[in-house]
A and B are shown apart, each in its own frame.
Chain A
Amino acid sequence: MKTKYLIAIDEICAIHNIEISFISSLQQIGLIDITTIENSNFIAADQLLELEKYVRFYYELDINVEGIETVSYLLQNINTLQQEITTLTNRLHLYESEWNV
């Protein structure tokens, strides 16, 4: 079974100097998942980079939680489109030499 590493939310808030309510807002809109064990809240270690990104959006760029949700959605779209471009470019290579392009 794969081990899931968890990080205490209290600790993250203390290190980044952020409010717990901000993390709760992110959870409410489904951007992060919180695991509760014995009344303590944790997030999975593999979500930390995403969370830190949201912290930068909120505290450095003054983007509110609704804005973060929109930006995340658009970034996902960019990522999907970039992958699609890569796939199409690879497919194009298949025909290029045939047509001497």
Chain B
Amino acid sequence: MNFVDYYKVLGLDKSASPKDVKNAYRKLARKYHPDLNPNNADAKTSFQQINEANEVLSDPEKRKKYDQYGKDWQHAEEFEKQKQQQSQSSGSRQRGGFSGGQSGGDFSDFFESMFGGAGRNRQAKYRGEDYSTEIKLDLIDAYKTHKQTLTVNGKNIRITIPAGVENGQTIKISGHGGVGTNGGPNGDLYISFSVANHSHIKRLGNNLFSTVELDLYTAVLGGEITIETLDGKVKLNVKPETQNGSKVNLKGKGFPVYKSEGQFGDLQVTYTIKMPTNLTAKQKELFEELRNN
């Protein structure tokens, strides 16, 4: 547990007036407030520090205690222990709520040791903090609707991941965030997905892209080939005289459309023609014959 210099956090010196504290807090809060910095973990941490500093320095009683014990917080701990023992013996200790959610959130160990739970605002009803987490999926996982169990803050949550979820997509699970304070509603859980591409099949939105090698003879004369899709094997008729780089679109063989059952994107197959190697003398002779015709 490190000493936190609340004056430094707010950019103030010890002689700062309550008005200076208020102004410094407002200025920094506008800069780092999580509502103004979505998905910015650094801003969230800064805001928590600013909020904590304001919580202490804007309250004359807490500020006095902080000024008295702040730099020598070990003594404050002892002081607090004695105080706790006294209040426990008299049975008067009260657990208070705190401004949760986007407004404040967690307090440092230092704050806890100096002011404990009772140091925070009481009575107010606040929504719990929103949590966020990331789930890594490979393309095949994202292809089918499936269930997955997550552990968030020590609790197991079983969620259904609908087929078609996209890389970078975020879904909200209502009420699975932090517990609300003083009867306030729970926060929400935001899950963002990181979907890795398959080695042979790439995805863009609901469409899939793959490259299939054709041997020279099938490309020239045409024929039937079997290719792998995420939905299993598919037979394809290759037209005679197929050029290198030519594309075929397989309608409905792409990725499932998110939350639209039975709807799929397309699969675009690009042919690359593999030239024969290690030709026999006979084969070379036949190619020569073709060239001369």
Contact = CB atoms under 8 A, between A and B. Distances in A.
Contacts of A60: 29, 33, 103
Interface string A54-73: 00110011110000000100
A52 B243 CA distance: 60
Interface stretch (A20-28, A32-40, A75-83): A75-83
Nearest to A67: B30
Contacts of A79: 38
A86 B165 CA distance: 13
B204 interface: yes
Given A91-B204, A94-B197, 17 more contacts: A60-B103, A62-B26, A71-B36, A75-B38, A82-B38, A86-B168, A89-B167, A89-B168, A90-B168, A90-B203, A90-B204, A90-B205, A93-B167, A93-B202, A94-B203, A94-B204, A97-B202
Contacts of B278: none
A90 B38 CA distance: 21
Interface of B: 26, 29-30, 33, 35-36, 38-39, 102-103, 125, 127, 166-169, 197, 202-205, 209
B125 A15 contact: yes
Q: Specify the main secondary structure of chain B where it touches its partner.
A: loop
A91 B39 CA distance: 22
27 contacts: A15-B125, A52-B127, A53-B102, A56-B33, A56-B102, A56-B103, A57-B35, A60-B29, A60-B33, A60-B103, A61-B26, A61-B33, A63-B30, A75-B36, A79-B38, A82-B38, A86-B167, A86-B168, A89-B168, A90-B166, A90-B167, A90-B203, A90-B205, A93-B167, A93-B197, A94-B197, A97-B197
A43 to B, nearest CB: 15
Nearest to B125: A15
A7 to B, nearest CB: 12
A75 B26 CA distance: 19
Contact of B29 (A61, A82, A87): A61
A27 B103 CA distance: 23
- Which residue among A52, A53, A57, A60 has the maximum number of chain B CB atoms within 10 Å of its CB? A60
Contacts of B125: 15
B189 to A, nearest CB: 14
Nearest to B185: A48
